Structure 1
Amino acid sequence: MTTPEELRYTEEHEWVAGRDGSLVRVGITEYAQDQLGDVVFVDLPEIGRRVAAGEVFGEVESTKSVSELFAPVDGEIVAVNDAVAESPELINSDPYGEGWLVQLRLDDPASPEALLEAEAYRALVQG
């Protein structure tokens, strides 16, 4: 399982990638997409929506189940990945790259620091 060191993670299996200090990309981890199986549909929020950490902001539907997406930090949705909406399988093939879900403008630029580092996330999923 790949767990890029430069990302931060949640216990709900989302990742956060810093962009320029106030903007981050959010997606689901390789572990999460593996547990879901083949992703067939993604429901993403509207641009401009405000989210709070822990709040549901969308869903990922696979051949096995439907899973909610949880905001990892407080902020405003400033972009959604239309490519994933059109081709949900990108989440399976490239969860840390082309399979990103949304971009957030952070309320607090330091908030991702409170999330799990790669080593702690690996320990979480390995039980």
Structure 2
Amino acid sequence: NDSVETISTRNTKAKVSLEVREVVNASDEDVNDPNSKDFIRFMSAKQGNDATTIYVHDHSLRKTKVNETSIEECARVLSENLQDTFKRVTKSDQILQLYDQFVEPEQFDPRDELKRSKNAIENYLRRRAEFAY
């Protein structure tokens, strides 16, 4: 099970997904050592500090300081990467190009659809009433 926490840093909020997985036969030292294959990423917030120290994903010894500015930058880069991955996986650009010649863009107005439906129902009821008498 994954859980999500909201970390508030001044006026910036970031959602943090906590990793939950079973590590068989691993000691506390193994899961906390960035050089271990069983290392589990974590965030450690220190009271009175507006930043959080996290280990980078590649399990190196480097530490990245997360603050208001770097969270925004990380979110921007993550967003760009997710959009790029989505486009590559779904081939949405290619699909749009392939079907572009078959479709015409149309502005959908629900009020127009409701008026058409209302008129169709009124016409049906009028004809039905005429046949009833």
TM-score range, shorter chain: under 0.3
Larger radius of gyration: 2
Whose strand proportion is higher, 1 or 2? 1
What TM-score, normalized by structure 1, do the two folds share? 0.23
Whose helix proportion is higher, 1 or 2? 2
